[in-house]
Amino acid sequence: MYNTKIAEIFEEIANMLALDEVERRFEVLAYRKAALTISSLQEDVGEIYKKKGVEGLMELPGIGKGIAGSIKEYIETGKIKKYEELKKQYPIDFTNLTKIQGMGAKRTFKLYQTIGVKNIDDLRKAVDQHKIRGLEGFGERSEEEIKKGLAQFDSGKGRMLLGHALPEAEAIVKKLRDSGLVKQITIAGSTRRMRETVGDLDILVSSSKADAVMEMAKKMQEVERTIVSGPTKTTVLLKIGLTCDIRVVEDSSFGAALQYFTGNKDHNVKLREIAIKKGYKLNEYGLFDRKGKSVAGKTEEEVYSKLGLDWMEPEMRENRGEIDLAMSRKLPKLVQQEDVLGDLHVHTNHSDGLEPLGEMAASAAKLGLKYIGITDHTKSEYQARGMDDKKFVKHLEGIDKENERGGIRLLKSAEIDILKDGSLDLENKTLEMMDYRLASIHTNLNLKRDEMTKRVIKAFDSGYVDIWAHPTDRLINARPPIDVDLDKVFEAAERNNVILEIDSYPDRLDLNDENIFKARNYKVKFSIDTDSHRSENMLFLRYGIGMAKRGWLTKELVVNTLPAEKLLKLFHKF
Ligand code: DGT
Ligand code: CA
Ligand code: CA
Ligand code: ZN
């Protein structure tokens, strides 16, 4: 997969071009747009290029001839000349520095110019030595913010977003499968459990040609270098900066190995204890009786079954009580991607989306969805080109017109800003024209817990909020969640029939599994949405589904598994 790396380079190019004395705004915007497009692609640009050449690249939104040329250059030579030259002029690690909260591109450059900060280590030193607070335009508060940002950065270090890791793992699996060398092959580890971030990839293979598989694994185009390689296990560092374990086992052990390497560790430990109590021994090769005879191992189902447990989906295997449920045959039937009939959080180019309404609708239809809710931003989100009441009225009429033309059902909505004081960013009469109202927080994220809690509850108590979108506002590895008393807020959601969103965007995944768990203590429902800003983002749904399964949600608890007519009955009426 080239996507992550190329998107990073384009973002860096944009950052560096923006520093140039010469006004190069269009070029900067072009690179930023290209970075956004590529980072959210699920198909590898390398594959697109291989199949359809530069023309194929140019079919992607926001990719013109020049940028397509740069992509080609990178795929063929591993470098982009323009980038290398800019890098000489600005030897700054923009990619990582701008990940720190409080560090935009401008500030990053300023710190380089004034005190020579080139990378994260330099920044850490500057913070420790209090060199930043005295600089013009910074001050003590910025220094504190950067310090917190650094801590946040460290805590996420080395763990990659599921949304970047899973497509990479799938590309590797496909490659190995296509080689004809493997009998069975599956992704295991935290990626199979759909954890929001993964530490490394685990790929499990059964094959009678282990040597050839190991050789091939080392030589894949995705590999930066081999870390260790033995007869049945190879660990490589991938170009995207993640390590990957590839293991080969006998077909007769595949189920036991898959169970073992899927984990998680605590789940495995508990399973092993159960095995011991039953007089068995469980390991990655199989389940064995006292005499060392294998009693199970070919499939996972077999292993669980011999231990007296129902098989459970990987997303549940976190030792959160699932083993007891499996033993008493009471596992919940989790929501499946096929159950989801619509997406209630979709943007168009009427605010910060990249595509017109019609295109988003056509793409959703192609994916088999029956309806989508159009949730463009409101006026406070001026940088997202949010609309005021007047524009919204016209926009909603536009949705009606589009509905008359046929195609899948488009629901009228908005992503309404919950303002600092808890009021909503549109007038009631505009809100009343919509099928439902999705609300979220985008500004003043640093309010104290008390004030934040009051803010959200006030919004809910208005009676105008149907869905609370990306509730905690965290960005994985980049921004902490807002400080809010979720118990109080969930209680208010229950009282006001507010549906809680599971935002599927890879760096949001919000609510996450833990918070879904907490929310299930209340009589609330959930909506698994993609927050799409372009058609391809709709493929993110599977990450939200993963989160929902990790939170043990059944179909009944997820509102967008309902057909539109039934769904509409759940929303507030005016
Ligand atoms: P990660 O890579 O940090 O995102 O998380 P995992 O769960 O993929 O962990 P990883 O790659 O270290 O190991 C893959 C699986 O192998 C893990 O989920 C369970 C199993 N495993 C690893 N180490 C142990 C261990 O010491 N004991 C047991 N019972 N299982 C282990
Ligand atoms: Ca792993
Ligand atoms: Ca591993
Ligand atoms: Zn949104």
Q: How far is CA 5 from CA 283, 468, 478, in A?
A: 38, 33, 18
Q: Which ligand places an atom closest to the C-alpha of 347?
A: 4
The reported pLDDT for the residue numbered 26 is: 86
User: Average pLDDT of 320-339?
Assistant: 98
* Contacts of 14 by beta carbon, 8 Å cutoff, 6+ apart: 28, 29, 31, 32, 35, 105
Whole-number Å distance, alpha carbon 529 to ligand 3 midpoint, is 30
Q: Which ligand places an atom closest to the C-alpha of 193?
A: 1
User: Average pLDDT of 414-439?
Assistant: 98
- Helix, strand, or coil (residue 505): coil
What is the atom index within ligand 1 of the atom nearest the CA of 189? 8
Summary mean pLDDT of the chain: 94
Determine which residue's CA is closest to atom 19 belonging to ligand 1: 263
Whole-number Å distance, alpha carbon 484 to ligand 4 midpoint, is 20
Show the tokens assigned to 210: 């282990």
* Consecutive H or E run containing 146: helix 139-156
User: Average pLDDT of 429-443?
Assistant: 98
Determine which residue's CA is closest to atom 25 belonging to ligand 1: 265
Whole-number Å distance, alpha carbon 197 to ligand 1 midpoint, is 14
Q: Which ligand places an atom closest to the C-alpha of 270?
A: 1
Determine which residue's CA is closest to atom 30 belonging to ligand 1: 265
Q: Is the pLDDT score of 303 beyond 80?
A: yes
What is the atom index within ligand 1 of the atom nearest the CA of 198? 4
Residues 412/435, Cβ–Cβ less than 8 Å: yes
The reported pLDDT for the residue numbered 40 is: 79
Determine which residue's CA is closest to atom 10 belonging to ligand 1: 189
What is the atom index within ligand 1 of the atom nearest the CA of 263? 18
Whole-number Å distance, alpha carbon 260 to ligand 1 midpoint, is 8
Confidence of residue 41 (pLDDT cuts 50, 70, 90): confident
Determine which residue's CA is closest to atom 31 belonging to ligand 1: 265
Cβ-count burial of 310 within 10 angstroms (0-12 exposed, 13-18 middle, 19+ buried)? Answer: middle
Whole-number Å distance, alpha carbon 415 to ligand 4 midpoint, is 6
Tell me the C-alpha distance between 29 and 219, whole Å. 37
The DSSP code sequence of 280-309 is -EEETTEEE-TTS-EEE-S-HHHHHHHTT-
For residue 319, the tally of other CB atoms under 10 A from its CB is 16
Whole-number Å distance, alpha carbon 262 to ligand 2 midpoint, is 8
- Residues touching ligand 1 (Cβ under 6 Å) are 189-190, 195, 198-200, 202, 260-261, 263-265, 268-269
Q: Is the pLDDT score of 422 beyond 90?
A: yes
Determine which residue's CA is closest to atom 26 belonging to ligand 1: 265
Determine which residue's CA is closest to atom 23 belonging to ligand 1: 265
69-90 burial, b if ≥16 CB within 10 A, otherwise e?
ebbbebbeeeebebbeebbeeb
Q: In the chain, what are the domains?
A: 3-155 (1.10.150.110), 160-249 (3.30.460.10), 254-327 (3.30.210.10), 337-573 (3.20.20.140)
Confidence of residue 305 (pLDDT cuts 50, 70, 90): very high
Cβ-count burial of 349 within 10 angstroms (0-12 exposed, 13-18 middle, 19+ buried)? Answer: middle
* Contacts of 550 by beta carbon, 8 Å cutoff, 6+ apart: 193, 194, 195, 315, 316, 318, 513, 516
Q: Which residue pairs from 73-78 have beta carbons closer than 8 angstroms and sit at least 24 positions apart in sequence?
A: 74/2, 74/5, 74/6, 74/9, 75/2, 75/45, 75/46, 75/49
What is the atom index within ligand 1 of the atom nearest the CA of 190? 8
With the most atoms of ligand 1 within 8 angstroms of its CB, the residue from 268, 300, 318 to mutate is: 268
How far is Cα of residue 164 from the mean position of the Cα atoms in its chain? 8
The reported pLDDT for the residue numbered 22 is: 75
How far is Cα of residue 232 from the mean position of the Cα atoms in its chain? 32
Choose the weakest-confidence range: 115-119, 253-257, 508-512, 541-545. 115-119
The reported pLDDT for the residue numbered 156 is: 64
What is the atom index within ligand 1 of the atom nearest the CA of 264? 18
What is the atom index within ligand 1 of the atom nearest the CA of 197? 4
Confidence of residue 522 (pLDDT cuts 50, 70, 90): very high
Q: What is the pLDDT of residues 76-94, one digit of tens each?
A: 999 999 999 999 988 999 8
Q: Is the pLDDT score of 337 beyond 70?
A: yes
Choose the weakest-confidence range: 83-97, 406-420, 430-444. 83-97
Tell me the C-alpha distance between 419 and 465, whole Å. 13
Whole-number Å distance, alpha carbon 128 to ligand 1 midpoint, is 35
The reported pLDDT for the residue numbered 15 is: 87
Determine which residue's CA is closest to atom 22 belonging to ligand 1: 265
Confidence of residue 175 (pLDDT cuts 50, 70, 90): very high
The reported pLDDT for the residue numbered 123 is: 95
Whole-number Å distance, alpha carbon 265 to ligand 1 midpoint, is 5
Give the neighbor-by-neighbor strand order of the sheet with 286-288. 281-283, 286-288, 294-296
Strand partners for 373:
411
Q: Is the pLDDT score of 157 beyond 90?
A: no
Q: What is the pLDDT of residues 357-406, one digit of tens each?
A: 999 999 999 999 999 999 999 999 988 889 999 999 999 999 999 999 98
**Among all chains, which residue has been given the structure tokens 């790929």?**
203
Determine which residue's CA is closest to atom 15 belonging to ligand 1: 261
Strand partners for 510:
503
What is the atom index within ligand 1 of the atom nearest the CA of 269? 29
User: Average pLDDT of 181-199?
Assistant: 97
Q: Where are the alpha helices (DSSP H) in 59-119?
A: 65-77, 81-89, 94-97, 105-115
What is the atom index within ligand 1 of the atom nearest the CA of 200? 2
What is the atom index within ligand 1 of the atom nearest the CA of 202? 11
Determine which residue's CA is closest to atom 17 belonging to ligand 1: 263
The reported pLDDT for the residue numbered 96 is: 85
Percent of the chain whose predicted confidence (pLDDT) is above 90: 83
Determine which residue's CA is closest to atom 20 belonging to ligand 1: 261
Confidence of residue 4 (pLDDT cuts 50, 70, 90): confident
